[in-house]
């Protein structure tokens, strides 16, 4: 998102040019062209109505030419921001102190390679007790990225200079007994759509391969304030779709013949392979959930607006959100605690309390499962085994019919298509979309072009229907603290992308040769319920320890 003074400077500099070029006339629209176009939009007018439209359509055409002259950058703000909060919703607005459980008995392993899979809390303990320095720890993970990054195609650029500067600052703070957060001195990676001064921000696509943005993203600044150490910009599916970018396909660490899914492809792949302790991903429609599920990570997709997106690539303003991809649920809680919050540039962002305690009363928490997605699965499915495990632990799990007839997939993809086409409008009109790697029909170049033929009237109708879906879903979802769904089920994923509800995706079974562990997704029935869903996921992981499995190729 572009900071306002920068945008004003851009408009002022171009204003005189637009005045000169806005008078250039395009070839006039004809009645026959109106007739041919009506079919595309499911419209039917009489000859008299078509004739009366001509003057306005030609006026519109010249205005479009004027608009196209602006070539708005991707980070120019959209002032029509989306708010997931409905009038009937109420929230606790008081932030309480979080007491993190940093163990005191963690020791350096005899085989230092085992550090690759230590949790944030374990690494934080080692750092605080001076068993290792942040510089040493950062070097350890940078070396792993150098060793395995090409194998997984998960790294776009290393940020060694930044890392060493930040690691030295962390070590100096430790020497003085100053502790900012559990993330202090901990290395991490950013999906390469976040701006960091002095680095390339490539969006994973050739037209942006050399792009440098003189700005630090909000999420990067939050992590810097917490004392974390940026060691890499990680691969992403091109312009945040799929797992293919200009460096190839990001690989699944459990099976190098398969991709890691997308678009937070490198964030999930690198974390699961132990190339860094955690990473930051983004989601518009499944881009945290899917790679976490496919790679066996624990990924938290927060409530829409919980983390300001300033300095990040805009894809769909009313759906994009930022979240952590980690080893386990408590790691995800730790990262979220220090990245969540709003700023003045992302007007859709909201600072809400995150009152994480790390514990839940399993006998009183309200849990449901989507029986219309799970009951028909085999008896030994991971989803059914999750429910058995929870019930054995004393959880009352109710079966519900998760809404599946609201056309949520169509609504979300229409919004996504229109907004992303606007975000990358100059790319399409310049013809540089032909330089992109993904050129098949279902990918962005064609999606952006096709979306130009979605009328503004229909887009706004879809947005209004979205609000109706939110109203219909709220009474059911809000009855429960947790709703269990298959991770890759499209309609539950799409519905909660529309409503803004949070979810966490995590391993849900044992891995078999050549495959990652199966996964499960716990949806928060209420907005801003990240503290509950991460604590519930932590409890499930304590019961099962599925998250402690690691891909054999990288355990050395």
- Could you list the active site residues? 191, 263, 287
From the number of C-beta atoms within 10 Å of its C-beta (0-12, 13-18, 19+), residue 210 rates as: exposed
Tokens at residue 218, please? 């909000």
Helix axes 408-423, 490-499, angle to 10 degrees: 60
Q: What is the DSSP string of 161-208?
A: HHHHHHHHHHHHHHHTT----TTTT-EEEEETTB--TTSB--TTSGGG
Q: What whole-number distance in Å separates Cα of residue 506 and Cα of residue 331?
A: 12
- Tell me how far CA of residue 515 lies from CA of 55, 217, 237, 370, 382, in angstroms: 61, 35, 21, 25, 14
DSSP H stretches of helix in 358-455: 371-374, 382-392, 408-423, 425-430, 444-451
> Residue 49: how many CB atoms within 10 A of its CB?
10
Contact in structure between 190 and 221 (CB atoms under 8 Å): no
Q: What whole-number distance in Å separates Cα of residue 149 and Cα of residue 156?
A: 9
From the number of C-beta atoms within 10 Å of its C-beta (0-12, 13-18, 19+), residue 505 rates as: buried
Contact in structure between 185 and 134 (CB atoms under 8 Å): yes
Contact in structure between 302 and 323 (CB atoms under 8 Å): yes
State the number of CA atoms in the 13 A half-sphere of 56 facing the CB: 6
Tokens at residue 34, please? 């109106």
Output DSSP code: residue 212.
B
Contact in structure between 350 and 321 (CB atoms under 8 Å): no
- Tell me how far CA of residue 229 lies from CA of 26, 187, 199, 384, in angstroms: 53, 4, 15, 40
Residues 6+ apart with CB under 8 A from 30: 54
Tokens at residue 276, please? 């860094």
Q: What whole-number distance in Å separates Cα of residue 239 and Cα of residue 236?
A: 8
Cα–Cα nearest to 284, from 39, 22, 5, 500: 500
Cα–Cα nearest to 132, from 229, 224, 223: 229
Q: What whole-number distance in Å separates Cα of residue 84 and Cα of residue 96?
A: 24
Q: What whole-number distance in Å separates Cα of residue 194 and Cα of residue 315?
A: 12
């Amino acid at each position: 998102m572009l900071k306002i003074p920068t945008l004003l400077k851009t408009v002022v500099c171009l204003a005189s040019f637009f005045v000169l070029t806005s008078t250039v006339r395009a070839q006039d629209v004809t009645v026959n062209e109106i007739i041919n176009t009506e079919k595309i939009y499911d419209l039917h007018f009489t000859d008299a109505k078509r004739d009366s439209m001509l003057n306005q359509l030609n006026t519109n055409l010249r205005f479009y030419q004027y608009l196209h002259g602006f070539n708005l950058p991707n980070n120019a703000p959209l002032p029509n921001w989306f708010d997931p909060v409905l009038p009937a919703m109420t929230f606790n607005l008081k932030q309480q102190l979080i007491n993190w459980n940093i163990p005191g008995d963690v020791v350096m392993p005899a085989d230092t390679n085992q550090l690759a899979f230590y949790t944030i809390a374990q690494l934080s303990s080692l750092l605080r007790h001076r068993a290792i320095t942040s510089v040493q720890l950062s070097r350890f993970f940078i070396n792993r990225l150098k060793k395995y990054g090409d194998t997984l195609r998960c790294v776009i650029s290393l940020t060694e200079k930044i890392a060493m500067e930040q690691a030295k600052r962390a070590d100096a703070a430790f020497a003085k007994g100053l502790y900012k957060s559990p993330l202090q001195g901990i290395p991490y990676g950013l999906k390469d759509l976040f701006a960091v001064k002095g680095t390339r921000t490539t969006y994973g696509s050739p037209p942006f391969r050399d792009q440098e943005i003189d700005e630090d993203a909000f999420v990067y600044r939050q992590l810097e304030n917490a004392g974390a150490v940026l060691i890499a910009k990680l691969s992403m599916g091109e312009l945040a779709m799929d797992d293919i970018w200009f460096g190839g396909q990001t690989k699944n660490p459990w099976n190098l013949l398969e991709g890691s899914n997308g678009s937070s492809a490198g964030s999930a792949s690198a974390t699961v392979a132990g190339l860094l302790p955690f990473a930051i991903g983004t989601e518009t429609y499944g881009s945290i959930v899917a790679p976490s599920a496919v790679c066996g990570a624990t990924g938290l997709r927060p409530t829409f607006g919980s983390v300001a997106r300033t300095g990040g690539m805009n894809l769909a303003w009313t759906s994009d959100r930022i979240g952590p991809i980690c080893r386990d649920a408590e790691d995800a809680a730790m990262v979220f605690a220090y990245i969540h919050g709003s700023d003045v540039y992302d007007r859709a962002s909201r600072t809400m309390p995150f009152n994480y305690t790390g514990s839940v009363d399993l006998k009183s928490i309200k849990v449901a499962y989507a029986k219309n997605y799970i009951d028909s699965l085999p008896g030994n499915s991971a989803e059914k085994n999750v429910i058995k495990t929870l019930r054995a632990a004393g959880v009352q799990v109710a079966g519900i019919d998760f809404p599946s007839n609201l056309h949520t997939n169509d609504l979300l993809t229409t919004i996504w298509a229109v907004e992303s086409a606007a975000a990358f409008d100059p790319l399409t009109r310049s013809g540089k979309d032909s330089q992109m790697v993904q050129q098949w029909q279902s990918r962005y170049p064609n999606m952006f072009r096709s979306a130009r033929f979605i009328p503004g009237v229909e887009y706004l109708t879809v947005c209004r229907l979205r609000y109706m879906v939110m109203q219909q879903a709220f009474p059911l979802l809000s009855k429960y603290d947790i709703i269990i769904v298959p991770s890759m089920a499209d309609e539950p994923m799409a519905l909660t992308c529309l409503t803004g509800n949070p979810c966490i995706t995590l391993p849900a079974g044992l891995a078999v040769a050549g495959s990652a562990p199966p996964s499960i997704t716990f949806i928060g029935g209420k907005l801003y319920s990240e503290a509950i869903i991460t604590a519930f996921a932590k409890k499930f992981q304590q019961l099962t320890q599925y998250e402690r499995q690691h891909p054999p190729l990288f355990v050395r």
